[in-house]
Structure 1
Amino acid sequence: MFSEELREEAAALWQASFDHDFIQELVAGTLDEQGFRYYLLQDCYYLIHFSEAHGLLAAKTADEEIRASQLALQKGMEEGEIAVRERYFKWLGITKEEYQKTVVAPSAYEYVNHLYRQLATGTVGTSLAALLPCYWLYLEIGQRFSQVASPNPLYQDWINTYDSPEFAESTRQQISLLNQLSELADEDERLAMKEAFLISSQYELAFWEMSYTRETWQFEALN
C-alpha cells in the first residue's frame, strides 16, 4: 500500500526521531523541564495551526467523507489536543501572558508554513500527506515508549496521550484516506504526496532538535 511505501521511505527520519536526545531523555525522565516547557509553548502554536489546517482541507475537498473526517478531527483537536496542552501549561505554571510573549521558533514557523503551502498550492492528497506524519509518528512514539514508564510523571502522562485507542483510530483514518487518494492520483501527484510526507517527517525531527536546543532566530529583534 502507498502508506507502507511512505513509511519505509521515512524510516531513517523516524528512527532519528525515536533516537533523538529529546525523546530518549524524556523517556528516561532526565530531560530538562525547561526544554519540555519550551517544546509545549512551540507545540501550542503548531497545534493551533494544525487544527486550522484540517478546516482548510475540509474546505478544499469536494469529497464528503474527507470533509466530514477533517472537520471532526479539527473539532477533536480543539477539544482534546489543545486542552491537553492547557493542562500541561497549568502543570508547569505557564501563564497565558508567557505564551503570548513567546517568539515562534524558526522550525515551528517553517513547519506550519509547509502545511499552509500544501493547502494553498497542492492537492487534497498532498495536503493530507503533509498532515499525516504528526499523527503517525506520535502514535508510534506512544506505542514504543508508553510501557517504559518514565520516572517523571509529566513526561509519562505526555507519552500516554499518544497511546490511546482514540488517537490510534484518528491515525488509522488518516492513513486510510491517504491510501484512497493515492489510488486516484497519477504518478506525478503520488510523488508530490511522498515529498510532502517526507518534508513533514523531517520537520518533526527538526521540532525535537528545536526544543532540545531552544532554537532562536539569528537576529536580535525577535530574541
Structure 2
Amino acid sequence: MTKNFTEIAYNKSFEPWHNSFTHPFITELQSGRLNMDIFKYYLLQDRYYLEHFNKLYELIAQSTDNKELKDSLIANSLDLGAGELAIRNTFFKELNITSEEIKNTPITPTAYNYVSHMYRQLYTGNAIIASASMLPCEWLYQEIGEYLSDKMSPVPIYQSWIDSYSTKEVKENIIKQRNLLDRLYESVSVKDQEKMINAFVISSQMEYRFWEMSYTKEKW
C-alpha cells in the first residue's frame, strides 16, 4: 500500500522528532526543574519565530489559488493570533519581559535559520511545499502537549504551556492539516513531492535544534 505524505515525512523525521520528547528542555519543563531563565530565553526566540510563522500563513495564502489551502492558512493565522500569540503575551507579562528586553535580545542562529528555511520554501518553491515546511511545528507541539498532558508540571506557567497544546481542538486541527497535505501531495509532481518531504524533514530537525538552542542559550 502506498504511503501518504505525512507517513513518509514522519518516518524520515523519526530521530529528531522523537528525540524532542526526551530533550532536557521538555523533560525538565514537565518536572518543574527547568531554569526559568532558559524558558524566558525560549520565549524571546519563539516570539520572533511566531511573528514570522504568522506572516508566512498570510503570504502563503496570498500565493495560492487552491481555495481549501487558502482557507486553511487564513484560519490557522486567526487561531494563532487568538491562541498561541495571546498566551505568549500573558507569559511575557507574568515573567516581566519588557519591550526593551525583546528589542535588545539578538535572534539566535537557529531561530534565524529555521524561519529563513520556511521562507525559502515559498520563494523558491510554492505554497504547497511551504505549507509542508510549517506542519512539523504545529504537529510536534501537539504531540508533545498530548504526551505531557497527564504528567502535570508543578510550575504553573509550564503547565499552561503544556495545556495550550493538548486540547481536543488543537488535535482536530492537526488532523485536518495532515489530511489536506496528504491530498495535495497526490496532486503535485514527483519532484515537488520530494521537495515537500525534504522541507518537512528539515523543519523537524530545526524543531529539535530549537529546544537545544534554548537550553544552551545559543549565541552567534
Question: How many Å separate the matches in 1 of 2:171 and 2:104?
Answer: 34
User: Is 1:113 the counterpart of 2:126 in the alignment?
Assistant: no
User: Is 1:154 the counterpart of 2:157 in the alignment?
Assistant: yes
Identity among equivalent pairs (%) = 45
* Kept after mapping to 1: 8 A contact 2:5/2:197: no
Question: How many Å separate the matches in 2 of 1:7 and 1:173?
Answer: 16
Structure 1: state its 5+ residue gaps.
Answer: 218-223
1:1-223 mapped onto 2 (5 Å cutoff) = 1-217=4-220
Question: How many Å separate the matches in 1 of 2:179 and 2:70?
Answer: 14
| Structure 1 residue 171 displacement after superposition | 1.4
Q: Residue deviations 1:167-195, cap 9 Å, x none?
A: 11221221111101111122211111110
TM-score, normalised to structure 1, is 0.94
Question: How many Å separate the matches in 1 of 2:40 and 2:155?
Answer: 14
Question: How many Å separate the matches in 2 of 1:166 and 1:122?
Answer: 30
Amino acid at match of 1:189: D
* Kept after mapping to 1: 8 A contact 2:135/2:200: yes
| Structure 1 residue 130 displacement after superposition | 0.2
* Kept after mapping to 1: 8 A contact 2:50/2:85: yes
Q: Residue deviations 1:119-149, cap 9 Å, x none?
A: 1111222111100001100010001011101
Amino acid at match of 2:206: Y
Of stretches 105-114 and 149-158 in structure 1, the one that deviates more from structure 2 is 149-158
Question: How many Å separate the matches in 2 of 1:120 and 1:188?
Answer: 16
The DSSP-based 3-state class of the residue aligned with 1:140 is helix
The DSSP-based 3-state class of the residue aligned with 2:83 is helix
Q: Residue deviations 1:48-86, cap 9 Å, x none?
A: 100010111101110111111111111221222111100
Determine which structure has greater relative contact order: mean sequence separation of CA pairs < 8 Å that are 6+ residues apart, divided by chain length.
2
Amino acid at match of 1:203: M
| Structure 1 residue 156 displacement after superposition | 1.1
Question: How many Å separate the matches in 2 of 1:169 and 1:105?
Answer: 32
Structure 1 stretches of at least 4 aligned residues deviating more than 4 Å after TM superposition: none
Of stretches 191-200 and 166-175 in structure 1, the one that deviates more from structure 2 is 166-175
* Kept after mapping to 1: 8 A contact 2:31/2:154: yes
Equivalent pairs, count: 217
TM-score, normalised to structure 2, is 0.96
* Kept after mapping to 1: 8 A contact 2:121/2:129: yes
Cα RMSD (Å) of the superposition?
1.0
Amino acid at match of 2:171: A
| Structure 1 residue 118 displacement after superposition | 0.7
Structure 2: state its 5+ residue gaps.
Answer: none
Question: How many Å separate the matches in 2 of 1:119 and 1:102?
Answer: 27
* Kept after mapping to 1: 8 A contact 2:148/2:162: yes
